[in-house]
Structure 1
């Protein structure tokens, strides 16, 4: 946010008041939204929403403070989560979701759906999470009836009387006398990108959504929310845009999975009534809020949605203060173990691992090779057809000296928490990607790509776009062969690049065309696992001619 001098003076005067500070980032009621006037007129519902928090708890006290403030301003509200609480930080590695759960109970969530990563450790830890929840779960297309750990918590029904710590297809929540229908959906990709086990069944999300809408309406709910862990425009075969177009009767889709930052709600107009789609990015950085106005028949006639920036600062101080109780729990019960864990040694390197500026942005480095090898190895466990991995040099933030590697080194190296993505590209498109990578060479560029499973040459003396001279792919895992421009290759990278990060529009185009799978798996965790798989957890990567500038 940019401030004029006058705005800064005014804001400073108000900053002493905590209430006013929070109010500055909590969205006000839209002028188009009338107050609640009773059953025969309009009804306004505020939905607070989170998704893909992935055990990022360092800002949880501010998150809860923001939730409390919204509730105080807008009492006719719901707090919903669209899945993927599990995996992502040391808080999860240490507490397996139960730290997150304590704060979710404290915040007073009304419902949650299951994300793919909530199955990462099988259904045992997930069952512990669900059993301790002081709120219900909804999932219409996941059948848990045969799973040993969850069958006693699963109810294949729409209920008007949901119990905490139980999973239903959907539920009805009464807000100011109005029946609000809520059902959940989880991406079927979970079968191949997580570890749900053979007894968890994923069913057709369109069919199950239609059934859930009909059942909710049959129980008198004419205001219906889909809690979706499908992805906004994800290319894995199911997504929110398709859901909104194909299923009539959904008023609001609260989304997750694709980590999409929707600064304002997206309106899908297919059908007789509009569907509002919202999603709040990732990692608890934002609390999503949307005010939805319904007419007496349950049709959406107005909406106003914004994201509250939980980490916004002014004068180097967080605008939103900590909730005192949440802060005390975090600092005394959970944070000490995480800080201790950061000193954990995860392996050893016999050589200096070279990254950072400018090295990783101008030439092949041994650390770039190590990181891309790790990415490729992980991707192959999910899709064995993956042959290539790429990583931008700007995401290799530092070097690591020879000796022990601890977790603090790893988080300094890759602080952004990006996750794995696998993209389908033709050989011709891969050449375009590499041309963009070396366009500024020999000057440093954050989008300069480190690679695995591939090697290429370029000539930095030639004009940009005409520099790449040869590309070879290690198709059998051992021998390099010339790339086939017409062939489709599976390329492992991260969610930042496939969405156009560093200016890679060719990757963003493929993403929009549905050619990307997002199995998740945080970059730092993939790196740690790869080192752990090496003999004696020791690495000695070298520069081996994967990237050659013929001008040198």
Structure 2
């Protein structure tokens, strides 16, 4: 009896100890991560990564086709309710298996869809809070509206019903002069240094948040914020290495993760890009969770730097994939125990959306519909049907979608009897339309979603670059032709200039195919909005000014020293003017805004999406809710004609 009693006591003691370990292992010492207390020196870790989600809350596809409550009945990819289901499934499963789980994002969660209309309370950050991310960083598109409005976004999320407490780590950002963001750094909402996640198991994970040079170059509105982004610059490398060394030697972390909005090019072939350069030059980063280039790594990319190996992953873009990285950490040596394993989880209609996130998205849709009341439209309203496929070809060339958008700008800004030109740059096109697509307003907006005004008196204050009516003389109109022809000729060796190419409306350029010389510039009749009729020559000279409808982003870029230098190199002069001939500069640019309601006090701004809405829905000479095959099915150039 004594032996049996002693054995029973031992069993009870072991069970009690195991239960104590179980309970202690299920609480979180950093962020929302938790798991069982590990046995021995090895800890199993799972990192779940999203990146470049771009507010694709209702997925990538037709807005009215998205059915997150059911499965097997749509072709929409992604959708945040669906990715929420997958995140919860994997996080719960890995924790039950004893792993420590971290959920991270590598930036650009904003900008790209109609949900950007909620920028003041920030739909993306509200989702990130609801899903209990552990840590995130900033991407270049977080700065699209400028530092002050970025601060408004973060503050709006913090003051929303659920609040916002997820650490935003921006290690290599310099916020000097951006007072509102500096206040958020002082409050601890933005970590302008490294960050340490401490788990109840004792695991300490050091996190740095980085923006690479390529992404930095695509953040023109970030000023006065700057970034130590050139990973080939000795001072920048010294700065980052000091942060990693401090995490290793002062904080005593077991693992270092870089949330890097820098990017990998050709990740599944010959990997290159800023994050490869980072890994080759910095010692001590274990994992780089990469973003910016919108590519998915099929397997981890190992980069050997001396005795250390850094592993790079990227989840892709638009919440169409969730990256799961599983690995083991030796708590004693503070090294990875083996090569991490990457599993990609496609997000599609096989996954039912999380009910709580579905409800949240429904509430967001209602908020936006209320904002759109004054425009007489809702998110799901069908504004047109397309009779053909229209997409952006990724090249400098005349194409149907570009012509359509340029026509829309010209339609919105032309005054009776006044020949007018519309010009729309490749770089602000973000999508397209499909044959027989019933285009919802949300679908239209997603094609041209970028930017916001600097006039905070607009009510409601909606996204979009304001449209401007500027004036060019005859010589400069000819130079528009020369610019496009030059970009077409140089694109194979200088692909960075493709985004500057103008689609044009109301103007026909004829050029010599062999020499690139512009032979003529002709305008269409003022009311020939689809450019299918005859033309009239535009004489060279400076005496006559011709109105051009263009967005503010294009004029902003046109006035930069880099673009002016390019124009000078090409022998081109483009100086936008007000209607009285005054040269436009940053100080008087808003005086050129196109007014949607001239009879209403103040300026009611037009944006590319609101111009397209008007062009698509107006009866003739608008499109009458049908995008026709002719003239947008281009087989040969109609507005850029070679001889």
TM bucket by the smaller chain? 0.5 to 0.7
Q: Does 1:194 align with 2:219?
A: yes
Aligned to 2:86: 66
Cα distance change of structure 1 residues 39 and 411 upon mapping to structure 2, 3 Å threshold: same
Cα distance change of structure 1 residues 409 and 305 upon mapping to structure 2, 3 Å threshold: closer
Give the number of the structure whose alpha-carbon radius of gyration is greater.
2
> Which sections of structure 1, spanning at least 5 residues, go unmatched?
1-34, 156-162, 314-318, 347-351, 376-385, 416-421, 434-448, 458-467, 481-524
* CA distance in 1: counterparts of 2:447 and 2:488, whole angstroms: 31
Aligned to 1:139: 170
Structure 2 residue matching 1:85: 3-state secondary structure: coil
Paired residues for 1:67-466 under 5 Å: 67-75=87-95, 76-96=100-120, 98-131=122-155, 132=158, 133-154=164-185, 165-175=189-199, 176-188=201-213, 193-194=218-219, 196-206=221-231, 207=237, 208-218=239-249, 219-233=251-265, 239-295=274-330, 296-300=332-336, 301-311=338-348, 313=349, 319-331=350-362, 333-339=363-369, 344=375, 356-357=387-388, 368-371=402-405, 395-397=432-434, 407=441, 410=444, 427=489
> Which sections of structure 2, spanning at least 5 residues, go unmatched?
1-34, 59-78, 159-163, 232-236, 378-382, 410-422, 450-483, 496-500, 523-537, 540-605, 624-630
Q: Given that residues 354 and 365 in structure 1 are in contact (C-alpha distance below 8 angstroms), is that contact kept between their aligned partners in structure 2?
A: no
User: Structure 1, residues 417-469: CA drift from partner, whole Å, max 9, x if none?
Assistant: xxxxx9x9783765999xxxxxxxxxxxxxxx996599689xxxxxxxxxx96
Aligned to 2:41: 41
* CA distance in 2: counterparts of 1:365 and 1:53, whole angstroms: 27
* CA distance in 2: counterparts of 1:81 and 1:173, whole angstroms: 15
1:195 positional shift: 5.2
* CA distance in 1: counterparts of 2:517 and 2:508, whole angstroms: 4
**199-208 vs 249-258, greater mean Cα deviation:** 199-208
State the aligned residue count.
Answer: 405
Structure 1 residue matching 2:289: 3-state secondary structure: strand
* CA distance in 2: counterparts of 1:359 and 1:62, whole angstroms: 28
Root-mean-square deviation over aligned CA pairs: 5.1
Structure 2 residue matching 1:149: 3-state secondary structure: helix
After TM superposition, the score normalised by the length of structure 2 is: 0.52
Q: Given that residues 145 and 154 in structure 1 are in contact (C-alpha distance below 8 angstroms), is that contact kept between their aligned partners in structure 2?
A: no
* CA distance in 1: counterparts of 2:392 and 2:217, whole angstroms: 34
1:46 positional shift: 0.4
Structure 2 residue matching 1:221: 3-state secondary structure: coil
Cα distance change of structure 1 residues 39 and 408 upon mapping to structure 2, 3 Å threshold: closer
**295-304 vs 191-200, greater mean Cα deviation:** 191-200
Q: Given that residues 148 and 178 in structure 2 are in contact (C-alpha distance below 8 angstroms), is that contact kept between their aligned partners in structure 1?
A: no
Q: Given that residues 292 and 303 in structure 1 are in contact (C-alpha distance below 8 angstroms), is that contact kept between their aligned partners in structure 2?
A: yes
Q: Does 1:545 align with 2:638?
A: yes
